[in-house]
Structure 1
Amino acid sequence: MIFNNLKNDTGFYIPMYNKLGFKSYVTPRLLGDIKLDYHTYLLEPTTEIDLTSSFFSRHVSFYVDGKPHFLNGNSESQQTDKIDVELGLLYQKVTRHNKKFQLDVTTFVPLDALMESNVITYQNTTSKTQRLKVIVATPLYGRSADNLRDHRHVTSLLNRVEVLENCVVLNPTLSFDERGHKKNELNYGVYASSPQLSVEGYYPSLEDYVKNGSLQFPKGLDSLVQTGDYVEGKEALGGISFKTIEVKSQEVITLYFNLGINHSKEQLISTFNKYSQSKTIAIAFEEVKTYFTKEVSKLQFHMKNLEYSEKLNYIPIQPILRRFQGNSYLPHHDYGKGGRGWRDLWQDLISMIMYNDSECRSLLLNNFAGVRIDGSNATIIGDKAGEFLADRNNIVRVWSDHAAWPLLTTKMYIDETGDLSFLLETQTYFDDQFTHYTKKTKTKKSTNHQLKIQNDTIYGTVLEHLILQNVVAINNVGSNGFVRLEDADWNDGLDMASKKGETIAFTHFYINNLLVLAELIQKLETPKIELFESLTKLILNKNYSLDIFFDDVHDFTDNKVSIDKEILASELTKKATLVLKQINKYAFMREGGLQSYIDNDGNFLDSSSTLSLTGQTMALLNQTLSKTQAKKVSNVTKKHLFDRMIGGYRLNSNYQDVKMNMGRAYGFAYGTKENGAVFSHMSLMYAYGLYQYNFVKQGREAYQTLVNQAFKDKSVVCLGIPEYFNNEGIGKYLYLTGSATWLLKLLRTEVFGIELSFGTLRLNPKLSKDDFIDSIAVIKTYVHNKPLQVTYHNPKKLEYGDYRIASIQMNGKEVINEFQSIEGDLEVYLDEIV
């Protein structure tokens, strides 16, 4: 993506990573941090406020005829520079022009090295010879993000900084943590070399270099040291000074500027040297582009117009990024310590299923190991397979929506593959000190987080895990008969209604989940289903309460019992029907909109003048409404929440109140984050629900308004779609958002009609006439483990509702619209409805 003459780069950045665990991000001003994990930062950790103001990053000074200019463009004379930016998969190229010179910087992370490469070229664009001096002066942080303000000075006393040829290496003695100090094994390095420049000396100490000045205007330029020197107990600086040279008119000077981390100092230096060769760097750069282009090629679209399609086709990188970056390490994502949340885990798998990732089945099975025997689950997922944690930041919580998502993803996997046998695979249960939906604790727990009876590990089928989660959730109701909100649902900001709060919104989800489970159970060939005894009682015995269930599984000793599958399916259906009656009786408002929540005083949140999008979304998404009800809901929702100027559907009305009886969300300024912003994730799920009811015009308006907002320059969204848009229509929280997955799922399943059910594909396009480019719309995806291109032809420019599939051709032969296998690409011809 090319941004010529970029005027506003506030908020612009691109993340980079490789599968070795190296992570960084970079802005057009070369700001941004570099790390392996929360405790291993090479450059100082940064947040949104640092996107334009910090010098504690990739800082390089260019003294042109004695006057300082900077790689980040922050000198006074550079404020009128023309800046061109190219953002790609996954790299950044920046070209900075002014009357004196042109600076080009290409930044990327090689696939096979724990380092970031910056290739810098300086060109004298005047007609006169210039005197040029280059100084790399990049502060090395080399410790945990905790130490940004916790023992910042004390941890600098641990620093040992060594000067090597073309390189400054920081190797702290300890990793500082008052819970238990560890010997540090990591080396952090800054390297710079040039075919045209020779090193004059080094600045390994930030204090000595700055010397009562600043990084921008240092006063310690006379404190140069040479190779072999060593500094202790000071903040480290990757300072490398090159001798002044004369640069002729139009002459180009190249600088290789690398930053890396390694356990081995020798390996660090070897890597730096390897990537200071033009041929090696060129090959590595092409490998990065090829690798990530291949990753996103698994799902591509040709629709609306070419520019729109190009921007749309960057979005598949977003779920991949979140899989490896979690929800941390980017400017707005400055919370948590890495890893993904439980909800993220399942929604990211949706994209993996669409991408035909070979790891899907094993990862899906592995995820069920995070479910506790009481139906709750671990909330944080570590970097390693099977690594689950009870909480984030030592706060244990239950989100009322967590049990809903695993079935959605599992059903999609079964529909895509036909692999119904997956439900009968077995998995362990997560065990820690928490019981009774985390409200109580126990002293006896396993050492490896696997539930045991004596020394025997307890296993249950995937189906048992799913039934457990959903049955417990739908029985965990408040006084109004809806699922208890607990510590929040999908909206993490609703965290102050744990006593009397209820989520009507996710009650819809659990109703549908019970019906889906009933369908899956009936599809299984086995006549009996095995469940542990307490779960069986919870389903079949009306006098067996959830409190008794929690007591019974506190110290788990249950045996398995068998239930006739028809009886089990029938009981789940009855429960779903009963709860749906409760919604129809109490949750509808006068205009036809739905209540979404009950607050901590036991009162419905909304009145005739307010509305929350979540309740409307979950009702449509889970198809718990009649078409008449759904139509009323869509009309009311647009009236209350649609704002075309900032991206579409707001998350809620303005309640004009902090609402201490609901949660922190209402302390945010209205139109920001979870309080009334256009929250992409919920907006796109709402659009998906509209499409499911064949409200295509409304659904298209919902998602197109959001996507178009993301693609506007004023939104300051570099690539993809953000988590939300604020009141100015500016995108916030880029890249690491589940909304990307839902946009892709919406386009693939509903718009392009790639509908699979238990392994059988049927095409059911809901393309509007404006979705076609020269009467053609194309999707490239995977079906049945094979790449598939489906091309829709609409020569008569018919609108949705006016066309039908007239014929489908595969390999030049006409085929029927039902596919158990795919042997070639599909050409689909649309014509008028007869």
Structure 2
Amino acid sequence: MLIKKIITDNKGYYFPLYNQYLKSSITPNLLGDLKKDYHSYLLKPTSERDLYESYGRHVLIYIDDHPYYLSGKGSKQQEDVLEVSYAPLSQHVKRINKLYQIEINSFIPLELPLELHQIKYKNNSKLKQKIKVVTATPFYGRSANNIFDHRHVTSLLNQIKVVEKGVVVKPTLSFDERDHLENELVYGFYSNSDDLSIDGYYPIYDDFVNGGSLLYPRGLNKKYQIGDEINGYEGLGGISYSEIIIKPLEEISFYLGYSISNKEEDYYKLLNENDFGRLLKENNAYFKQLLRKMEINFKNEVVSDFLKFVPLQPILRRNFGNSYLPHHDYGKGGRGWRDLFQDLLYAIFIFDQDVKKVLINNFKGVRVDGSNATIIGDKVGEFKADRNNITRVWSDHGCWPLYTTDKYLNYFNDYQILMEKVTYFEDQFTHYTKKTKNNYARDNILKSSNKPYLGTILEHLLVQNIVGSLNIGEKGFVRLENGDWNDGLDMASNKGETIAFTHFYLNNLKILTKYLKRYEKVTLFEALGELILKMDNTHLDDYFKRVANFEESSQEYETKELIKGINKYIQYLTKVLAKKGIMENGAFHSYIDDDGCFLDDKTVSLTAQAMALLNQTATKQQSEEIAKVTKEHLFTEKLGGYRLNENYQEIKMKMGRAYGFAYGHKENGAVFSHMTLMYVSGLYNYNLVKKANEGLMALIKRAINEESKTPLGIPEYFNDRGIGKYFYLTGSATWLLKVIKEDLFGIKMKAGKCFLEPKLLKTDFNNGKATLKTKMFTGETLFIYENEKGLEYGNYNIKLIADGKEIKNGFDKHYNTIQVICY
């Protein structure tokens, strides 16, 4: 097991289960939902409130004629003790009181569109008990849109059938704002037991409730039998088991199965101890090997145990997107542009050999005007303008593809990728999405002379970063547009500027000049080449006009001339940041609002400090001042560390919706894990190791703290009470692993070679050791850091022993074990 928790109240825990067919959320009380996709939910879509107030996988257990529930909703169950354990991707619950011990094991098998549950009921009393089990899971069986769009009318589509040991529902149609579509899916519920016998079925919600409720149904005598068909009602996964008398300490078992499939299947045949155990074993084995991609042990056992689950979080986000879990009650499963590239970082860290083709494919979402598709579909190369077909520009979007590509190049030393050619994304939007056109490719592939235009990856990187950095406002910083990393800053699209991501673009331009130096000449389409040679924002509108209806020829350009243009602009941005970007208190400004006024004066926002240090645009002296001021203004250890901003004491209508949130929540002053970790990484860049370690450990300790109500892993943020929110699906997990591997343990890749530059404090060693196991080059490597003398960082040197032989720092081959001796 990954972790075991004892809880006596509902802390709002939930856990994700998934395979290629299904996604579900499940709580210790079996609440949550189950779906195939946004338009195919078997259980009603849930959000945070439903963690307490819904019914989910509802089962009644009558003990001597008194109702009890697997969900623990009964008045006599409020003092139950719950022991919740999580394996890599299965949930295990024990519910205990004086009458019973109930064990519930839940998971989704690897290769079946099926969610499975094993329930074991044990008589804990000294008396015999009369037991009757009744399952009563309400079918939802439709699109999430239908919650408030024809909820009743869509129930009229339901064709409900009682089958052997189950109930299936197949709506005739699926309709909402998309269209009227013939439905192909069958929603199924099944139950089986070797200890109990079925005496009837409850396939209809209305008949079962019968004027009562799901907790106190009045229709228990209204039973149906196998073969009965009823159409036009809300379905219920209802099965009645006959009463049974069990002795003290005697145990009975029964199984539940929920399916979404293309036809009726006899899934009840898998509801037995042997098949359940076999499928669970396969599930655990698969997800355990995913966790082994990075195994970290440092500080102490508690911290090391906490880190065991984190490597699964980037994989969960790749499968769930930013949707489908109770906190993530928005979106339809797609991932955003920023997420797409940041999630790839973890694949790079573990030397995933498939990362190159995925990275190349991602660039197909770049528009030739420097913007990009903001929502990525499920299919390879599928890009969309936005979840509501309303396009927006986030000013930071041009930054992340280059950041990820640079990581790839340092890990794999594969500069050939820069010359790979891919298409561009085209839709109706032009001029950095400010204008539209009618004549565009309906397959969303940019054409020139009626043929798909192919540009190199280097060209795509130049397009996004040249346009992004030239798109500046009145004060000379990058325009904020509809937001940056903080998409709550969405009300300053006219005069808003992001000083924070001006730092990022500045560093990206420096990186691009390094790439260009590798070549004497490069081929670019003419509008881009001419823009770089001029490298002046006054020519940006002319560029937009030229590429709006793309008929560009390609031309070779001498890289020394391109570099000259870029370097001139690098000098300009550097001067602007130095002259206008720094406040009197020593911190960097972060933003300019829609009135053209700086957001901060005596206050501090974390984002600019993080971006400056992460991209190393600050001087050493500035970094020390930033670290001092930022801690004074934003650090609250008991809440998890660094808040995103200070309290402005007003709604910033000229900045964004974020400042309508109560202070300490989400993008208005919460401890945002992602930005905190980027800031911590920046502190490490400047060897401000103690402050970096302090920020890192404050975040980890808060996630571990039971008062944070965080079940596993690192959440998106901690609110004003230090409670974790938005579990599992967060880029913070990738950045936590990045900080630990590259910054703390100092395992850094540069041009295909591994250099060890550890920044472990003496308190980071556990009995003189710290270990990290991960894939390096072609195989797994165990790094063992040994600090027998308890030396502090700054007081030790290192030597490397690889498979028993001393080696030099900067190696480019695989070793099974590397000892890092601190002396």
TM over 0.5: yes
Q: Which amino acid aligns with 2:249?
A: Q
Partner of 2:11: 10
Partner-residue secondary structure (3-state), 1:249: coil
Structure 1 residue runs without a partner (length 5+): none
Q: Does 1:197 align with 2:190?
A: no
Q: Deviations over 1:558-606 (max 9, x none)?
A: 1111122233233223312210110000011111011000000001110
Partner of 1:42: 42
Q: Does 1:727 align with 2:725?
A: no
CA distance in 1, matches of 2:177, 2:159: 20
Partner-residue secondary structure (3-state), 1:201: strand
Partner of 1:376: 371
Q: Report the Cα offset of residue 811 of structure 1.
A: 1.7
Q: Deviations over 1:633-676 (max 9, x none)?
A: 11111111001110100000000111100000000000000000
Q: Report the Cα offset of residue 808 of structure 1.
A: 1.1
| 2:523 pairs with one of 525, 530, 534 | 530
Q: Report the Cα offset of residue 804 of structure 1.
A: 0.8
Q: Report the Cα offset of residue 196 of structure 1.
A: 0.9
Structure 1 residues 606 and 178, CA gap change in structure 2 (3 angstroms):
closer
Partner of 1:657: 650
Further displaced range: 775-784 or 460-469: 775-784
CA distance in 2, matches of 1:340, 1:73: 35
CA distance in 2, matches of 1:722, 1:571: 43
Partner of 2:822: 830
| 2:590 pairs with one of 590, 596, 603 | 596
The aligned runs of 1:156-171 (5 Å cut-off) are 156-171=155-170
CA distance in 1, matches of 2:766, 2:18: 35
Q: Deviations over 1:278-321 (max 9, x none)?
A: 11111111111111111011111110011210111211111010
Normalised to the residue count of structure 2, the TM-score between the two structures is 0.99
The aligned runs of 1:475-554 (5 Å cut-off) are 475-522=470-517, 524=518, 526-541=519-534, 545-554=539-548
Partner of 1:641: 634
| 1:702 pairs with one of 695, 703, 707 | 695
Q: Does 1:296 align with 2:295?
A: no
Partner of 1:579: 573
Q: Which amino acid aligns with 2:10?
A: D
| 1:560 pairs with one of 554, 557, 564 | 554
Q: Deviations over 1:480-506 (max 9, x none)?
A: 110000000000100000000000000
Partner of 1:627: 620
CA distance in 2, matches of 1:784, 1:2: 31
Is the Cα contact below 8 Å between 2:779 and 2:816 reproduced in 1?
no
Partner of 1:360: 355
Partner-residue secondary structure (3-state), 1:545: helix
Is the Cα contact below 8 Å between 1:484 and 1:502 reproduced in 2?
yes
CA distance in 2, matches of 1:188, 1:542: 58
Is the Cα contact below 8 Å between 1:420 and 1:758 reproduced in 2?
no
Is the Cα contact below 8 Å between 2:63 and 2:130 reproduced in 1?
yes
Is the Cα contact below 8 Å between 1:167 and 1:238 reproduced in 2?
yes
Is the Cα contact below 8 Å between 1:100 and 1:125 reproduced in 2?
yes
Q: Which amino acid aligns with 2:618?
A: L
CA distance in 2, matches of 1:75, 1:393: 42
Is the Cα contact below 8 Å between 2:533 and 2:561 reproduced in 1?
no
Partner-residue secondary structure (3-state), 2:562: helix
CA distance in 2, matches of 1:568, 1:758: 23
Give the superposed CA RMSD.
Answer: 1.0
CA distance in 1, matches of 2:12, 2:449: 55
Q: Does 1:136 align with 2:135?
A: yes
Q: Which amino acid aligns with 1:733?
A: Y
Q: Which amino acid aligns with 2:146?
A: N
Partner of 1:605: 599
Is the Cα contact below 8 Å between 1:101 and 1:123 reproduced in 2?
yes
Is the Cα contact below 8 Å between 1:299 and 1:354 reproduced in 2?
no
The aligned runs of 1:411-490 (5 Å cut-off) are 411-490=406-485
Is the Cα contact below 8 Å between 2:351 and 2:411 reproduced in 1?
no
Partner of 2:663: 670
CA distance in 1, matches of 2:21, 2:145: 19
CA distance in 1, matches of 2:722, 2:447: 52
Partner of 1:236: 235
| 2:750 pairs with one of 757, 765, 769 | 757
CA distance in 2, matches of 1:811, 1:179: 60
Q: Does 1:810 align with 2:802?
A: yes
Partner of 2:225: 226
Is the Cα contact below 8 Å between 1:511 and 1:577 reproduced in 2?
no
Q: Which amino acid aligns with 2:101?
A: Q
CA distance in 2, matches of 1:417, 1:570: 29
Partner-residue secondary structure (3-state), 1:570: helix
Q: Deviations over 1:699-751 (max 9, x none)?
A: 01011101100001110101101000011100000000001100100011011
Is the Cα contact below 8 Å between 2:535 and 2:569 reproduced in 1?
no
Q: Report the Cα offset of residue 21 of structure 1.
A: 3.0
Q: Report the Cα offset of residue 535 of structure 1.
A: 0.6
Is the Cα contact below 8 Å between 2:534 and 2:565 reproduced in 1?
no
CA distance in 1, matches of 2:17, 2:177: 32
Is the Cα contact below 8 Å between 2:374 and 2:385 reproduced in 1?
yes
Q: Deviations over 1:82-115 (max 9, x none)?
A: 1111012101101001111111000001001001
Q: Report the Cα offset of residue 36 of structure 1.
A: 0.8
* 4+ aligned runs moved over 4 Å, structure 1: none
Q: Does 1:819 align with 2:811?
A: yes
Q: Does 1:570 align with 2:571?
A: no
CA distance in 2, matches of 1:567, 1:787: 44
Is the Cα contact below 8 Å between 1:156 and 1:233 reproduced in 2?
yes
Q: Report the Cα offset of residue 4 of structure 1.
A: 4.3
Partner-residue secondary structure (3-state), 2:310: coil
Is the Cα contact below 8 Å between 2:350 and 2:776 reproduced in 1?
no
Is the Cα contact below 8 Å between 1:119 and 1:256 reproduced in 2?
yes
Structure 2 residue runs without a partner (length 5+): none
Structure 1 residues 338 and 542, CA gap change in structure 2 (3 angstroms):
closer
The aligned runs of 1:22-33 (5 Å cut-off) are 22-33=22-33
Q: Report the Cα offset of residue 611 of structure 1.
A: 1.1
Equivalent residues, number = 821
Partner of 1:209: 208
Q: Which amino acid aligns with 2:355?
A: C
CA distance in 2, matches of 1:596, 1:365: 32
Partner-residue secondary structure (3-state), 1:773: coil
CA distance in 2, matches of 1:325, 1:816: 42
